[in-house]
Structure formats: C-alpha cells, structure tokens
Chain A
Amino acid sequence: MLAVDSLTKRFQGLVAVDRASLGVPAGSITGLIGPNGAGKTTLFGMISGFLPPSEGRVLFEGEDVTAEAPHLRARRGIARTFQIVQPFAGLTVAENIAVGAYLRHPRRADAVAKAREVGLRVGLGDQLDKPASDLTVAGRKRLEVARALATEPRLLLLDEVLAGLNPSEIRDILPVVRAIRDGGVTILMIEHIMQAVMTLCEEVFVLAQGKMIASGPPRQVCADPHVIEAYLGKGAAARMKAEEIAHA
C-alpha cells in the first residue's frame, strides 16, 4: 500500500534521513522504531507531505506522491497525527473532529454526525461538547487519532500516540488502535513503548541515525545485535551475550 523508496532528507549539512526505504502492506499494523533523534518524525513528515525530501520517492497504492501537498495526500487517503498534539484549541472536541469529517462530507449535518460517531469510537463520547483545551493529555492523543480517522483514511500514520500516557491509559488505547485496523485502515506507527509495538505490530522497521538498520517481526528485530547496539551503544550486544552465557 505504501512504499518508501530510499528517501533522504538533508538539513544543510545534517543528513536526518539517509536513503531509508520501507513498505507497508495493506491491512497491516507496521511499526517504525528507533532511538531519539533517529529521524522517524522527519520520515513521517516526508510521507505525509509536510517536508519535501531531498531524494527518493514515496509511492501510495502504486502512485508517486512525492511532490504532492499534504492536503492532496489527505484526499487520497493518507492521514497523520502529530507527535506534539495540535488540537484546534478554541473549538469543542466534536468541532475538532468535524474538520476532518468535512473532507468526505461537505454537508454540515453529515460531517457533525460522522464526527460524533468517530468520537464515540475512540472513547471521547462523553467529552464531545467540551472545549478541546480542557482535555487531558490522553484525551488529546485520542482527539488526534479521531480527527485523522474522521477523514476516512486508508493509511493512518500514528506518531507516538502512546507517548506521555500512563500504563492504564496505554492499556485502554491499544484496543482502539487494533479496532481501527480491523475496520480496514492500514496503520504505520512510530512508537517508543516496546510492549505496545510487540503486541500490535506485525512488522517493524528500525531507524537509527537516519538509516534503516533492520526490519522484520518484532521479536526477531529486538534480538538483532544491530538494533541492541543502536539503542544501548557499541558492544552492548556482545556484552549481553556474554552475561547470558555467564548466567547459564
């Protein structure tokens, strides 16, 4: 469904993303992990059209969308959330979601009905008429997801929707993500919380210092020495191996 073909992003001298490629099969939940500053959000920015890549291509359902503006990609069916939540603070929760719903429903009544339905689905049902600025962090994360979902996307890009949530809030939101996929939306998610990645994702890509260093099923990727070293430093994998043997 989505194919990213050796995308590169340079900010002056700094190479933030270096010839990174990934593929997201239709109907999957695919993860994108990596240490802080690896370039994950930059890669997301290029996939959703907010950042023009220096090199490489983005293909959505076989079509080259590399040069397309974000709103055109949204119309194609690519929706994203923001890592730093961006609510329309002056509007109510329902009005926030309705902005997304208007993409496919030009009439106000239809858009508002769609917004309420989506709000209910992500668990914001009893807060629909509150100002968005009154929501808790967890509520705002749900609002990000709801707004994106209201555009009725086929591909949903989730940028750390679990960050900043406590364990019980995470437990509450995991089924929401899974239900979205079961509703026919393909998901690519950036996530730091490994427990969530392990339970949700079928396949994981690992980005470190702008380079894609590993990919595969989550368990296999977590055991990959390159991945361990990217997170814990050079030699960490060997040291852990040695400790394991010593304990055995």
Chain B
Amino acid sequence: MSARDLLPLILVLAVLAALPFLGLSGSALNFLVTTLIIALAGLGWNVLGGFGGQYSFGHAAFFGTGAYATAVLQMKFGWNAWGALGAGIGLGALVGLAIGYLSFRAGLRGSYFALVTLAFAEVFRILANTADITGGAAGLLLPLRPGVASLQFADRRLFYLLVLAFVGVALLASRWLERSRFGAHLIAVRENEEAARALGVDALSVKLRAIALSAAITAAAGGLYVQYFLYLDAGVAYGTWISVEALLAPIVGGIGTAFGPLVGALALQGLGEVTKHLAGGIPGVDLVVFGACLIAVIAFAPQGLLGLRRRRRTVPVGA
C-alpha cells in the first residue's frame, strides 16, 4: 500500500482521536464508544458481506463469542484481560471458520447462508442463556478493577482511544483488501464464483479466510463491549440487535468500502440519538428510524452514503 492509500485513513483516525479532548460530556463520550464498537462489528461484517458478498444475519455469533470468552476467561479462569480479549478474538475466528466450513462446503449462498448464520447465532443465544459457565439467564458481571492490566480505565477517554485503535486496525485490513490479491479474489468470488474458479481462485479457501477475518474483527468488538460495560447476558451477546447493527452500518455507509461501516455507524447512531431526544420516551422509536433508513438507502442509494458522493463525481453512462 502506498502513502496515498493510507492518507485518508490517517486523517480520519486523527480527527476521531482528537474528539474526546474537546470537552465532551460523559454521555457524549459514551455515545462515541458505543458507536465505534458498532462500527468495529460492522467493519467485521463488511469483510465477508461487503467484499465477499456473503450476507450474514448472524454476526452476533462472533460478537457474543468474543464477549463471552473475554469475560469468562477472566472470571472463571483468572486470565489477564488482554490475554482473554486476544483469546476471544481467536475463538471468534474459529467459530467463523466452523460455521463457514459447514455452510460454504454445502454450497450455501444468498438467503440460505443468511438464514443458517441467523440460526447459529440463535442456538448460541439459547445455549448461553442456560449454561452455567456463561452465568445463565442472570448473566455475568465483570468485577470493577480499574487498571491497565485489567483493561479498565478510570478515564473513559483512554478506553475510547483503545477502541479507536482497533477500528484503525480494521480499517487498515479493509484498505488492504481493496489493494491486495486476496481482496481481488474475494471480490471476484462475490461478483461471479464460477468465473473466479476458472481463473484459478480457490473459492472455498477464499471464503473461509474471509469469514475467519470477519469473525475475528466482530469478536474484538464483542470483547471490547464487555470490557466497557462490564456486564453481559445472552440477549446482549448473541442477540439479533448486534447482527442487525453490524450489517446496517456498512449497508447504509457504503457496502464493500473501507470507510462504509464507520460512516454508517456514525450516521445511524447519531440519527438514533437525535430521534430519541426529539421523540422523548417512545420506546424503540430509534429502531423505526433505522428501518426507514434502510429502506431509503436500498431504494435510493444502493451504494450507501459514500456511494452518493462517488455518483456525483462520475455520472454513469445512460443516466
């Protein structure tokens, strides 16, 4: 990758890194951390769904695995928080490989693949809700232990920067996908799997590597989530909410682009926050707005918000 490829990335990260030092309120910082965690989960989804064209409805399976592994390894096995987070990411990738192996080997695509991933996430949710090791329906409460070793910071800005660092790595990985042989193969499989195979692309292996990377990034989001909120139950970890957030952000922001998930997460979460403010106490009103946004984006801007900008620059032939 050349310096020119990396410049926008560095600029965006620099601006985001400066944000919390502008005297934001606690709730504003809270909002930013949540948004970045969702953006990270979306960046993970985008690797498989955006670049690879394999739409998962069950990225909660990876988010939850990362979250539970991070929490359980600390609480029940006395692991260090950093080690637990690392293991959570690795375990997420393994779960991704397993789900990918089962569904891609069977040749599942499109809505069939989406349904299978949804089913896996639901199975995990139900299991986590009953198993002892996950705390069952009561969930897990991570003990408060501020300190770098336990990955809990008294100053929330530090945690924000940590999440931002993860987002930076995920953005770098996405950028690399846009510029590498592996990325080209992945996009080729998305566009036309038969043709890709004829050109020497091992479609199964490409998809498996993509789902492992995708799951690892989303698992990192899960691990960071539990480190921030210090509480986890099956509905949070494996609930459909995160599967939906993880796919909405890239679709709204710009599917299959490096910055799409980040832009989408900021736009959607910001919009949700504003609606909650304006509509007052109507529960779930932000979800209604999300739904309306999704319909609007798919109908009028299938390339997402970033696509709108690009379309203005190059008018397609025949338009």
Residues on A lying within 8 angstroms of B by beta carbon are 48, 50, 69-71, 74-75, 79-80, 82, 86-91, 95, 98-100, 102-103, 106-108, 111, 131, 134, 147-148, 150-151
Contacts and interface: CB of A to CB of B under 8 A. Distances in A.
Contacts of A48: 198
A70 B198 contact: yes
State the 5 A-B residue pairs at the shortest beta-carbon distance, nearest first: A74-B200, A88-B191, A86-B195, A103-B200, A99-B188
A148 B194 contact: no
Contacts of B200: 71, 74-75, 100, 103, 151
Contact of A102 (B181, B192, B203): B181
B125 interface: no
21 contacts: A69-B197, A71-B203, A79-B199, A80-B198, A86-B192, A86-B194, A87-B195, A88-B188, A88-B196, A89-B191, A90-B191, A91-B188, A91-B191, A102-B185, A103-B199, A106-B181, A108-B184, A111-B181, A111-B184, A148-B199, A150-B199
Contacts of A50: 194, 197-198
A151 B201 CA distance: 11
A86 B193 CA distance: 10
A122 B196 CA distance: 20
Contacts of A106: 181
B180 interface: yes
Contacts of A102: 181, 184-185
Contacts of A100: 199-200
B195 A82 contact: yes
Contacts of B201: 71, 99
A134 B197 CA distance: 23
Interface residues of B, number: 22
Given A70-B197, A98-B184, A102-B181, A88 B192 contact: yes
Nearest to A106: B181
B179 interface: yes
A74 B187 contact: no
Contacts of B278: none
A88 B181 CA distance: 15
A147 B201 CA distance: 13
B198 A74 contact: yes
B317 A99 contact: no
A94 to B, nearest CB: 11
A95 B199 contact: no
**Residue of A71, A79, A80, A147 with highest tally of chain B CB at under 10 A:** A71
Nearest to A132: B191
B202 interface: yes
Interface string B158-202: 000000000000000000000111001101101110111111111
Interface in B187-238: 187-188, 190-192, 194-203
Given A71-B203, A86-B192, A108-B179, A99 B184 contact: yes
Contacts of B316: 131
**Residue of A79, A87, A88, A111 with highest tally of chain B CB at under 10 A:** A88
A100 B199 CA distance: 5
A88 B195 CA distance: 8
Nearest to B193: A86
B151 to A, nearest CB: 37
Nearest to B200: A74
Contacts of A79: 198-199
B187 A91 contact: yes
A148 B11 CA distance: 40
Nearest to B206: A71
Nearest to A104: B200
Nearest to A130: B317
Contacts of A86: 192, 194-195
Interface in B247-293: none
A247 B285 CA distance: 88
Nearest to B53: A90
Contacts of B181: 102, 106-108, 111
B257 to A, nearest CB: 12
Given A74-B198, A74-B200, A86-B192, 6 more contacts: A48-B198, A50-B197, A71-B200, A79-B199, A99-B185, A150-B199
Contacts of A147: 195, 199
